[in-house]
Amino acid sequence: MSFPWAKQYQPQNSLMKWVDERLPVPRLVYNAVGAGYPVPRNLNYFWNFGVLAGAALGIQIITGIVLAMHYAANGAIAFDSVEHIMRDVNAGWLLRYAHANGASMFFIVVYLHIFRGLYYGSYKAPREMVWLLGVVIFLLMMATAFMGYVLPWGQMSFWGAQVITGFFSAIPGVGETIRVWLLGGYAPDDAALNRFFSLHYLLPFVIAGVIILHIWALHIPGSNNPTGVEVKGEQDTVPFHPYYTAKDGFGLGIFLIVFAVLLFFYPNYLGHPDNYIPANPLSTPAHIVPEWYFWPFYAILRAFTVDFILPAKLWGVLAMFGSILLLFFLPWLDSSPVRSNNYRPKARIAFWVLVADVLILGYCGGSAADPVYVILSQICGAYYFAHFLIILPMISRSERPTPLPNSITEAVLAKHGGTSPAHTALTPAASS
Amino acid sequence: MASIDTAVPPGEDPAPYHEEVADPRRRDFINIAAVAFAGVGAGVVVLPLVNQMNPSADVLAQATTEIDLSKIAAGQAIKTSFRKQPLFVRNLTPAEIAAADAVPLSELRDPQSLEERTKGKKNWLITMGVCTHLGCVPLGAGEGENKGPFGGYFCPCHGSAYDTAARIRKGPAPTNLVVPDYAFSSDTTVTVG
C-alpha cells in the first residue's frame, strides 16, 4: 500500500521486464526503499536510526557467521577458541571486536530510534503495530545480546548466565525447575553454552523476520514526521530515493566513523576486564554488572530490597520485565491525538524528565550496589512507571497543545519564512 | 510542471534553485564520488572476511615434522603425518632403485627421475601419501598392502598405480605423488616443511 501518487516501477529494459513479470523483486525494492515510496519531506536526522539499526544488524550477522566458523561451544575450549580467534585467525581480532562493539552500536542506535518514536508520537494510531513489533524486536535483541555475551565463557559470561537464569528461579513454586530446565543443569555448563550458541545464531534471523513485518506495517500508513501531522497530498512527500537514500547514506557514514573509532581505538572500553578471566564456577567477580545497554533494567531489578506481600526478588524480576512490557501498552496509555511533542508543551517536559530518569537509572545500574544508588534506583524506577502509568495519561487529558500546522508543507514553508496557501493541502490541485 | 525540488519557496532567493545548469552538474559529481568511495570501502571490508578463512597462525605453525629414519630397514616404509596429511617415508631396496632408474622418462606421464625426486640419498623416497587424483591415501606403505602393478603404491579409490619412485604410471591421477620440502638434519633424521 502506498499513496496514490507513488511512482510505479517501470522496467528499464526487456530483461528487467521479463524478471518483473515473473518475480517482481525489483518492484518490491522500488516500492520499499526506492522512488516508489513517498516519504514526508520534513524528516530530520532522527529518522536515520531505523536504517542504522538495520545496518547494525547486518554487521552483526556477517561478523557473527564468520566468528562461528572459528568458535567452539564447549566449556573446556570455548574461552581458548575466542583467544584463538583473537591471536591466530587472520583478522580475527578485527572480526571479534567488530562483533562485540557492533552490539553496542546496535543498542545505541536502537535506543535513539525508540526515543525518537517516543518524542514524535510514532507509536500512536495508525502506527501501533509498528511500535508493538518494535518492542518485540527490542526483546529479541536483549535475549540475543545476553546469550552472545555468555559465549566467550569468561567470568562475566558465566556469572551473567548464572544471574539472568536466576531471574526465573523467582517464579513461585516452579521457578527452580524452570531455571534448571533452561540451563540443562544446576549451573551454567556445556549444555547451557551449546543451547545459547544455537539460539544466539537463530535469533538474529528471527529479528530480521520481525524487521520485515515492522517495515511492512510502517509502509501501510507511511512514515511519521517531526510535525506528527499526516501527509495530505503529494506536495507533502518526496520519493524515498534519492532523497532519503542520500540522507540515510550520510547518516550511515557518520555511524561508521563512530563505529570505527570505537573499534580501532577503544575496543575494550565498553567491555569488562573480568571477561578475559576464564569462567570459574567457584568464584564470583567482586563487581558483577551486565553490559551497559542493560544497566537501566538492572537498576530496576536491584531496586527492590524489601519483601512486600511477594518476595523482593520476585518484585525485582517482575518490575524489570514489566518496565519493558509496559511499552506494549503505550499507544493506549497516551490518549492525546497530537503526536509530536513539538506541539505538546507538558508532554515535552515529561519526555525530557524521562530521558534523564533513564540515564540516571543506567548510571545506578552500572555502579556497585551502594545504599545511595539503591535509593536513587528506587526513586527513578518508581518515576519510570509513574511516567507511563500516571503522568503521561494525565497530561494527555489535561494538556492544551500549541496550534498544529495545517500540513507538512505549511510547516516546512513557515520555517523558510513564508507560507503559501496555494501549497497547503487545503488546495492540493494548486501545487502541481 | 514544477516538481518539489525545483519549486522556489515564496520569499526565498531563487538563485540556488536554478544554478544547476552545468554539465556535469555539481550534484552528479558528488553523487559519483560518494558512491565510488562507498564502493571502494565495501570492497576493502570484504578482504578480512575472505582472509579469515585462510589457514590461521596455529595451523601454519604445524608446518614442520621431524622424522627418525634409523628404524626403517631397506624395503620398509612408514606412514607419518605432515600438516595433518599422510606422509610416506620409504627406504628403497637396490632392486627398487634399479627398477625406477630403468624406466625411460619418455614413457612417463609426469617425467621425473628418481634422482630428482630424492635429496642426495636415492634410497630415501619421501612423498605425501595423497593420491593426486582425488586425495585418497594410496596403499603400499604398510606391511602386506597391495603395492600395485608397478611395485610402488596403488590407490584403491580409482585404481591409480605408482611405481617405486612414486611416479604415476597407470590410472586417472595426473601427476606423481608430491615430494614435500625437506632436508636431512643428520644422517638419520629428516625435517619436513
A251 touches chain B (CB under 8 A): no
Closest residue on chain B to A67 (Cα): B52
What ipTM was reported for this prediction? 0.83
For residue A10, is it within any domain?
Answer: no
pLDDT at residue B24 in the model:
78
DSSP helix, strand, coil percent of chain A (3-state; round to 5): 70, 0, 30
B49 touches chain A (CB under 8 A): yes
Same domain, A298 and A260: no
Averaged over A199-204, what is the pLDDT? 98
Catalytic residue annotation of B: 158
Same domain, A321 and A260: no
Q: What dihedral do alpha carbons A347, A351, A356, A361 form, nearest 10°?
A: 110
Same domain, A376 and A232: no
For residue A368, is it within any domain?
Answer: yes
**Does the distance separating the beta carbons of B56 and A418 come in below 8 Å?**
no
For residue A280, is it within any domain?
Answer: no
Same domain, A200 and A330: no
pLDDT at residue A430 in the model:
42
Same domain, A45 and A132: yes
* Rg, chain B, Cα only: 32
The amino acid that residue A264 corresponds to is F
Residue among A41, A84, A417 minimizing CB distance to B11: A417
Cis peptide leading into residue B24 (ω within 30°): yes
Same domain, A240 and A309: no
pLDDT at residue A2 in the model:
78
pLDDT at residue A429 in the model:
46
Which residue out of B56, B58, B60, B62 would a mutagenesis test of the A interface target, given it has the greatest number of A Cβ atoms within 10 Å?
Answer: B56
pLDDT, one tens digit per residue, over B133-177 is 999 999 999 888 899 999 899 999 999 999 999 999 999 999 999
For residue A241, is it within any domain?
Answer: yes
Q: What is the mean pLDDT of chain B?
A: 87
Closest residue on chain A to B48 (Cα): A91
For residue A134, is it within any domain?
Answer: yes
In order of B59, B64, B77, B193, the CA distances from B87 in angstroms are 17, 12, 10, 12
Same domain, A314 and A257: no
d(CA A80, CA A97): 16
Same domain, A181 and A80: yes
pLDDT-wise least confident of A397-406, B48-57, B60-69: B60-69
For residue A422, is it within any domain?
Answer: no
For residue A288, is it within any domain?
Answer: no
pLDDT, one tens digit per residue, over A312-338 is 889 999 999 999 999 999 999 999 999
Same domain, A260 and A362: no
Q: What is the mean pLDDT of chain A?
A: 93
For residue A153, is it within any domain?
Answer: yes
pLDDT, one tens digit per residue, over A277-309 is 999 999 999 888 899 999 999 999 999 988 888
- pLDDT over 70 at A427, yes or no: no
* Of the candidates B80, B85, B190, B192, the residue with the CA atom closest to the CA atom of residue B136: B85
- pLDDT over 90 at A60, yes or no: yes
What CATH number is associated with residue A199? 1.20.810.10
Catalytic residue annotation of A: 219, 223, 247-248, 291
Nearest-Cα distance to chain A for B16, in Å, is 14
Structural domain of residue A390, as residue ranges?
A: 294-401
How many structural domains is chain A composed of?
A: 2
B63 touches chain A (CB under 8 A): no
d(CA B108, CA B134): 20
Same domain, A306 and A265: no
**Does the distance separating the beta carbons of B56 and A70 come in below 8 Å?**
yes
Residue A90: its chain B contacts at CB < 8 A? 48, 51-52, 54, 56-57
Percent of chain B predicted with pLDDT > 70: 89
Same domain, A299 and A215: no
